[in-house]
Amino acid sequence: MRERNNTSMGLLIRKAALADIQAIHRLLQDYSRKGELLPRPLSTLYDHIRDFFVAEEKDRHRVIGCCALQFCWEDLAEIRSLAVHPDSTRQGIGTALVQNAIQDAKRFHIRKLFTLTYRPGFFSRFGFVQIDRSELPYKIWADCMMCVKFPDCDEIAMIYRMPG
Q: Examine the pLDDT at 1 and tell me if it is beyond 50.
A: no
What confidence tier does 10 reach under pLDDT thresholds 50, 70, 90? confident
Q: Examine the pLDDT at 144 and tell me if it is beyond 80.
A: no
Domain ranges of the chain: 4-161
For residues 38-58, b (16+ Cβ closer than 10 Å) or e, as one string?
Answer: bebeeebbeebbebbbbbbbe
Each residue's pLDDT tens digit, 109-133: 999 999 999 999 999 999 999 998 8
Q: Examine the pLDDT at 93 and tell me if it is beyond 90.
A: yes
Q: Are 35 and 41 in contact (CB under 8 A)?
A: no
pLDDT at residue number 136:
81
pTM of the model: 0.87
pLDDT at residue number 59:
86
Which CATH architecture is the domain 4-161 placed in? 3-Layer(aba) Sandwich (3.40)
Q: Of 58, 61, 56, 54, whose CA–CA distance to 1 is shortest?
A: 54
Region 123-149: what's the mean pLDDT?
76
pLDDT at residue number 131:
95
- C-alpha count within 13 angstroms, C-beta hemisphere, residue 45: 24
Region 131-158: what's the mean pLDDT?
70
What confidence tier does 35 reach under pLDDT thresholds 50, 70, 90? confident
In sequence order, what E strands does the chain have? 4-6, 11-15, 52-57, 62-73, 76-84, 112-117, 129-131, 156-161
